[in-house]
Amino acid sequence: MFSEYLQQIEGIASYPLVSLFIFIPFFIIVLFIVFRMRKEHTDYMSNLPLDEYRDSERISL
């Protein structure tokens, strides 16, 4: 059913290519940022949710 509608749209074949060309640079940039991060920063960020819970626990006690 949907394939009939999609076949009637002109230039529909370019949409998958455009989305691929947007996704690949975004993915490469994210990988670059992740591999460039310092270990201390990732440890700090991973402990943030736990630190908030501990702080609220101290206040309520």
Q: Show the CA angle centred on residue 20, arms to residues 27 and 28, nearest 5°.
A: 15
Rounded CA-CA distance 8/18 in Å is 19
Note the pLDDT tens digit of each residue in 13-48: 888 899 999 999 999 999 999 999 999 998 888 888
Confidence at residue 46, expressed as pLDDT on a 0 to 100 scale = 85
Domain boundaries, the chain: 2-60
pTM to 2 decimal places: 0.57
- N- to C-terminal Cα distance for the chain? 61
Rounded CA-CA distance 1/7 in Å is 10
